[in-house]
Amino acid sequence: MFQNRLDHIPTQRNYAIFIAQEEEAQVAKIKVVGVGGGGCNAVSSMISRGLSGVEFIAINTDVQSLNTCLANNKIQIGAAITKGLGTGGKVELGRKAAEEDRDKIFKALEGAEMVFIATGLGGGTGTGSSPVVANIAKSTGALVVSVATKPLTEEGPQKKKIAEKGLIELREVCDSIIVIPNDNIELALDRNASAHEGYDKPNEILFNAVKGISDVILKSGKINVDFADVRTVLRDSGEALMGIGRASGENKVIEALNKAISSPLLEEIDLRNAHSLLVNFSGSSSMKYVEVREAMKRVNEMINPNAFIKFGIVNDENLGDEVMVTVIATGYSRISRLSIPEETSTELKLIKEEIPPSFNSTSDISPIEIDFNDVSYEPEKDNEFQIPTFLRVKGIPKDDEKKNNLADQSESQDDNSLYDELKKKKDKKNNDPNDTSAFLRKLMD
């Protein structure tokens, strides 16, 4: 009976339309992976804050820390080499732990269109395992974005050095990476913020970064931004900017946009040379069309006219009077604001210095040979060099007798008599028609 219905042409057509609608309704599968203690804490924070529509995975070498994570899917790595006790800050141990359990990690990540890797750099598991996890995620064909924090300066130069090396490795394997320097966290805090608020701020920022991108993908709108748009912006893009701004009241759209692109955590960012930009406006029916158009115009004025730009508008009545603007940018310039006056529009460019061809290699340098057998020492001439060069050049007698007499005179005569004698000798030399240097001096006079 069922087969006969499918054989019916109109039924086939309707069935095909139904299947197509189902396929269009499917959304990208997003997985958020916390790696190491900091990453697992970030995942727990995202779950507590209500991030939905994504699958959470926790990966760690420390069993005790892993068990406290709120993620449903937990993967202990490196059990054979760490015995479940962590890496003790040893990056190489963290790397080996992830390599030991590549199959388990691959199985957990398989099937995702997009993978977020949340981690804290500077420790053993986070720094060592994250690049391996990113590499595995990349091998599944997923778009891989890492959201990583860098340690506080107070945590020591060694930890900072470890974090920088880990960041370099992550950049090599991720499509894009959003870096959050913990040193700048206090710039986003009120002066009277508690210690708990301060140390939880990185988790809040990680949550906002993941939610901002996942909402753009998962929520449809009047002007839709889909996964393909996000992939265009983030695929193989290197370091990315992620800004979220919220505002209410008058001019709330422009105000939210300004907050999104002027976060104190991103104070060294220059959007003028961004290659790709994605801007999403989320708001209720109170969000005005004119304000959105004005904000779009302002964005276009700020960026390179050749940049790829995609706008999205999502209706979310849960926001009430508030508007949320999400900005994702890649291929931007990183410029120190301290080095460029605000009133100028100077752009810094990296220029590869060309080395002159004559100095391209050491083979072009001819060695100088010195025969030290020709060098002789004459002790009787030692005193000659006690007289300044400019006096010797201007005619002081070079024989020992006259030099000694001059030295004796300097003790018994005043400075004027010495000056008179030197002046006479100078005048005589200057009047010598055969003296080329005297002739040149007269020309210069």
96 and 195, same domain (yes or no):
yes
Return the pLDDT at 19: 36
In 3D, which of 129, 300, 145 has the Cα closest to residue 214? 145
> How many CB atoms lie under 10 A from the CB of residue 18?
10
Q: Say if residue 138 is exposed, middle or buried (CB neighbours under 10 Å; 0-12, 13-18, 19+).
A: middle
Looking at the domain assignment, is residue 226 inside a domain?
no
58 and 166, same domain (yes or no):
yes
As a residue count, the chain comes to 445
291 and 190, same domain (yes or no):
no
Q: In what order do the strands lie in the sheet with 73-76?
A: 73-76, 55-60, 30-35, 114-120, 143-150, 176-181, 238-247, 323-330, 276-283, 308-315
Vertex 129 angle, CA 123 and 94, to 5°: 65
62 and 179, same domain (yes or no):
yes
CATH number, domain containing residue 138 = 3.40.50.1440
Domain that holds residue 43: 27-218
Integer Cα distance of 229 and 12 in angstroms: 33
CATH number, domain containing residue 250 = 3.30.1330.20
Return the pLDDT at 423: 57
Q: What is the pLDDT of residues 365-424, one digit of tens each?
A: 555 555 545 555 555 555 555 555 545 554 555 455 554 555 555 554 555 555 566 556
53 and 176, same domain (yes or no):
yes
Query: What backbone phi and psi angles, to 5 degrees, belong to 30?
Result: -115, 130
Band (pLDDT 50/70/90 cuts) for residue 342 is very low
86 and 135, same domain (yes or no):
yes
Indicate the SS3 state at residue 370.
coil
Looking at the domain assignment, is residue 392 inside a domain?
yes
Looking at the domain assignment, is residue 284 inside a domain?
yes
Looking at the domain assignment, is residue 324 inside a domain?
yes
35 and 150, same domain (yes or no):
yes
Average pLDDT over every residue of 53-59: 96
Instruction: For residue 94, give every residue at least 6 positions away whose Cβ sits within 8 Å of its Cβ, in sequence order, or none.
Output: 36, 61, 78, 87, 123, 124, 125, 126, 127, 128, 129
Looking at the domain assignment, is residue 10 inside a domain?
no
Segment holding 241, helix H or strand E: strand 238-247
Number of domains in the chain: 3
Return the pLDDT at 243: 82
Integer Cα distance of 223 and 226 in angstroms: 10
Vertex 120 angle, CA 119 and 125, to 5°: 80
193 and 85, same domain (yes or no):
yes
Looking at the domain assignment, is residue 12 inside a domain?
no
Q: What is the pLDDT of residues 289-303, one digit of tens each?
A: 999 999 999 999 888
Q: Which residues pair with 240 in a beta bridge?
A: 330
Looking at the domain assignment, is residue 311 inside a domain?
yes
With 0.85 as the threshold, say if the pTM is over it. Answer: no
Q: Which residues pair with 145 in a beta bridge?
A: 116, 176
Integer Cα distance of 131 and 216 in angstroms: 26
Looking at the domain assignment, is residue 367 inside a domain?
no
265 and 336, same domain (yes or no):
yes
Place of tokens 């028609």: 433
Pull the structure tokens for residue 67.
Answer: 């068990």
Give yes or no for residue 440 having a pLDDT over 50.
no
393 and 251, same domain (yes or no):
no
168 and 65, same domain (yes or no):
yes
335 and 380, same domain (yes or no):
no
